[in-house]
Chain A
Amino acid sequence: MEGVEKLRFDTEGILAPLENTGRRFFVACGLLLAVIAWGGYAYAQQLIHGLSVTGLNRPVNWGTYIGNFVFFVSISLAGTLISAILRLIHAEWRRPITRCAEVITVLSLLFAVVNIGTDMGRPDRLLNCILHGQFRSPIMWDVLSINSYLAASILYLYLPLIPDMAILRDRPTGRWRWLYRILAIGYCGTEKQHKWLERIVSVMAILIIPIGISVHTVTAWLFATTVQPVWHSTIYGPFFVVGALYTGTAVLVIIMALLRWGLGLKSILKDVHFNNLGLVLMAEGLLVAYFLLCMYLVEITGAEPHIMKVVMSEIKGAFAVPFWLMILVGILFPPLFLSMRRARTVGGCVFAAAIVVAAMWIERFLIVVPTLTQPRLPWREGVYAPSWVEWSITAACLAAFALLYMLFTKVFPIISLWEMQEGIEHGMSKVRRRHEGYLPERLEKEKS
C-alpha cells in the first residue's frame, strides 16, 4: 500500500483538518451548538406541555415535522444518485464527489428519523412499533425501508473508506491512528483485497439504488394510500423520487461549495464538477416541473370537488404565495438559469441550488398541509402556522446536520483518496480503452 506521500495530487485541504483545528472551526461549532441547544430547549417544552406548543390542531394534525421528515428523506437520495449511479455508469468526474454525497445520505436519514420522533405524541412508546408492529400500515413499510436504507448507506459509506483508512493508518505520525487501524480491518492493498473490495462496492452500488428508490416511494405511499384528496394519487411515488433527486443534488452542490471554500479544495472540486452537477440539476428541475404539470393539469380538468378545494387553496387561497413562489422561482427559474453556460459557475450553481432547497422545503410543506386544511365533510377549515417550537426544532436539525458533517471532515478524509489516486493512475487508460471499444474496427493498412 502506498503511503500518503505517494498520492499524486494536493491532499493538503483533505488531510490538514484531521491534524489541526482552526479558530474558524470552533466559532462555527459554537454557533451551531447554540442553535442545537435552543432546539433542545424547544423540544423540552414540547415534552413537558405535549404537542400543544406546536401550531398543529384538528384537522391540520401533521405539519412542519412531517414536512421536515419528507424533506430530509428526499435529501438522502444525493448519495445514491451521485455515488451509485455515477459509479455504475463509470462517470470519471464522480471521484471527488462520491464520499461527500454518501455522508449526506447517512446524516439526512438520521434527521428524517429524528423528525418522526419529534412528531410523535408518545415518543416513549416508540418500541411499540417493534412489539406490536402491524405491517398493513404504510408507516411500518417506512420504518422497514428507512432502516434498510440507513444500514445499506452506512455500509456503502464505510466500504470505500477502508483503503483510505489503511493509507492513514500507515502514516508515521498523526491523530486518530488507533481508530484507522480498527476501521481498516487489516486492509493493506494486495491485489486480491483490492479486487474483492471493488466487487463488493459494485454489488452495494447496485443494491442501494432499489433500496433508495423504495424509501422515497414508500414515503409517498404514506400519503397516497389514504383516501384524502390530492394525496390519494398514483403519481405520488415516482413524483417523490424525482423531487428527491432535485433536492438531493441541490444540497450536494451547496455542501461541495462549502467544502471547497472551507477546506480550500479548489484543485479537487473543480469548476467542471459544478458545471456537470448544474446540468444534472437542470434536467431534474425539468422533470419535477413535468410531474407537477401532470398532477395539477389532471386534477384541475377532472375537477372533483374535494380535490378542487385543496387545489384552489394552493392556486388562489391561503397557500397562494408560497405555492407560486415555489412553482415560478423554485421549479421553473433554476432550470432556465442553469441552461445558460455562463451561469454554471460555482457561484451560479450555488445560487440556483439554494433556491431549489428552499423551494423544495416549501413543496414538502405544501404536500402535507393544504390537504389537511380541507376536510371532506363541511367541518371548519383548518388553519395552520408553525409555532416557534417547530421553527426552533427545524433550525436545530439543520444545525446538527451541519455540525455532524463538519465533525466527519475532522476525522475522515472527505474526498476518497484512493479513488482519486486510481483515477489519476488508471482513469485515462480505462476511458481510452472504453472509447476505443465504441469505435469501428479500423482497416488493416491503417493499423500497420
Chain B
Amino acid sequence: MAEQPSRRGVLGTILSALAAPFLLPGKLFAALRSPRKPKWGMVIDLDRCTGCQSCVVACRVENNVPVAGPELNEQDRAIFWMDMLTVPEGKYPDLRTQFIPVPCNHCENAPCVKACPVHATYINEEGIVAQIWGRCIGCRYCTTACPYSRRYFNWKAPVWSESQKQYLNPDVATRPVGVVEKCTLCHHRIRARRMKARLEGRELTDADVRKLPACAQSCPADAITFGDLNDPESEVSLLSRSPRAFKLLEELGTHPKLTYLREAKWKE
C-alpha cells in the first residue's frame, strides 16, 4: 500500500505553491537589479577626538560657508555645518569636557525630510539627506523639526571679502539669503572620486572614500571615518557594529547614519 501523504506535507506543499508567486519574483528581481547602491555613513571616535576643531574649519572652507564674524555669532546666527558640542561631565574637581563634533546625522527616518513642503530636502539614492537651495522657500520648518539642530538658515546674504572670494571652492555653490543649508557629506568629493575611479576602469573602494569628506581628511587624530554602510566589510560598517558604538538621540527613532564611538557610556 502506497504511503499516505501526511497532512502537514500536503498543507506545506499547498502553502508553498501559494507563496511562490510572491516570493520568487522578489529574488529574481534582486538578482537582476543594477549594481548595489552605496549608503554613505560616518563614524566619529570620541575616544580619539582631541577637540581641536580642525574638522569645523575644514568643513567651512570646503563648503564655502561664509565666515560668521563676531556680530552674527553674538546673534546666534552663525552657520556651522560641522559644529563642536562641548559637554561638561562630572562635578568639580573631577571635571572633564567631552568634545563631540556634530555634522548632519543623515537620518534614515529624517524629521526634516518629512517636514519640507516643497521637496527641497530629500534622502538621495545614496542615503545622503540632500538640500536643494534653489528650491527652498525658507519656511524653516525643517530647521524646527530637526531634533539635532543641524540645519542652518541664511539670515543674511553671505558677505565675502575680495581675498576670500579667491579661495571659494568652485565645486560647491554658494547659498543665497533666505534658504536653509546643511552638511552634504561632501557629495561633490564623492562624485569626483567616483569619476576618477571609473576613468581608471574600476568602482569606488573603501580605501578611496575612507577619509573623503573634508572633516575626515583634516582630522589629525584620525577620529572620523567615512564609507559605505551597505558594504558589511567596510570600515564604517565594522566600526558602527563596535560595542563602543552609540547614536545621538537614538530613542527618537530617527536612525542616524552617523555613529559615535566611546568607551564610557554616553549620556546626553
Query: How many B residues have CB within 8 A of the partner chain?
Result: 42
Query: How many A residues have CB within 8 A of the partner chain?
Result: 44
User: Are B155 and A51 in touch, CB under 8 angstroms?
Assistant: yes
Question: Can you name the residue of chain B whose Cβ is closest to the Cβ of A131?
Answer: B118
Whether a CB of chain A sits under 8 angstroms from the CB of B76 is yes
- What is the 8 Å Cβ interface bit string for chain B, positions 101-123, against chain A (1 contact, 0 not)? 01000000001001111111000
Q: What residues of B have a CB within 8 angstroms of the CB of A139 in the complex?
A: 115, 117, 139, 141
* A220 CB, min distance to chain B CBs, angstroms: 14
User: Are A50 and B154 in touch, CB under 8 angstroms?
Assistant: yes
Question: Can you name the residue of chain A whose Cβ is closest to the Cβ of B88?
Answer: A378
Q: What residues of A have a CB within 8 angstroms of the CB of B149 in the complex?
A: 58-59, 375-377, 379
Whether a CB of chain A sits under 8 angstroms from the CB of B77 is yes
Which one, B120, B144, B179, contacts A228 given CB within 8 A?
Answer: B144
User: Are A57 and B76 in touch, CB under 8 angstroms?
Assistant: yes
User: Are A132 and B139 in touch, CB under 8 angstroms?
Assistant: no
A272 vs B5: C-alpha distance when bound (angstroms): 87
Question: Can you name the residue of chain A whose Cβ is closest to the Cβ of B252?
Answer: A227
Question: Can you name the residue of chain B whose Cβ is closest to the Cβ of A139?
Answer: B117
State the main secondary structure of chain B at its contact with A: loop
Q: What residues of A have a CB within 8 angstroms of the CB of B138 in the complex?
A: 51, 120-122, 125
Q: What residues of B have a CB within 8 angstroms of the CB of A267 in the complex?
A: none
User: Are A57 and B75 in touch, CB under 8 angstroms?
Assistant: yes
Whether a CB of chain B sits under 8 angstroms from the CB of A345 is no
Whether a CB of chain B sits under 8 angstroms from the CB of A226 is yes
28 CB-based A-B contacts, threshold 8 Å: A50-B154, A50-B156, A50-B177, A50-B178, A52-B75, A52-B77, A52-B156, A56-B155, A58-B153, A62-B144, A121-B154, A121-B177, A125-B137, A129-B117, A132-B135, A139-B115, A226-B115, A226-B144, A227-B145, A227-B147, A227-B252, A228-B144, A375-B149, A376-B149, A376-B268, A377-B147, A378-B87, A382-B76
**Given contact pairs A121-B154, A132-B120, A137-B116, a sample of 9 additional A-B residue pairs in the complex whose CB atoms are under 8 Å apart:** A58-B76, A61-B144, A120-B137, A121-B140, A132-B118, A136-B114, A137-B141, A138-B115, A376-B149
What 4 pairs across the A-B complex have the smallest Cβ distances?
A121-B138, A121-B178, A139-B117, A57-B76
Interface residues of A (CB under 8 A from B): 49-52, 56-59, 61-62, 116, 119-123, 125-126, 128-129, 131-134, 136-140, 143, 222, 225-228, 372, 375-380, 382-383
Interface residues of B (CB under 8 A from A): 75-77, 85, 87, 102, 111, 114-120, 135-141, 143-145, 147-149, 152-157, 177-180, 248-249, 252, 254, 268
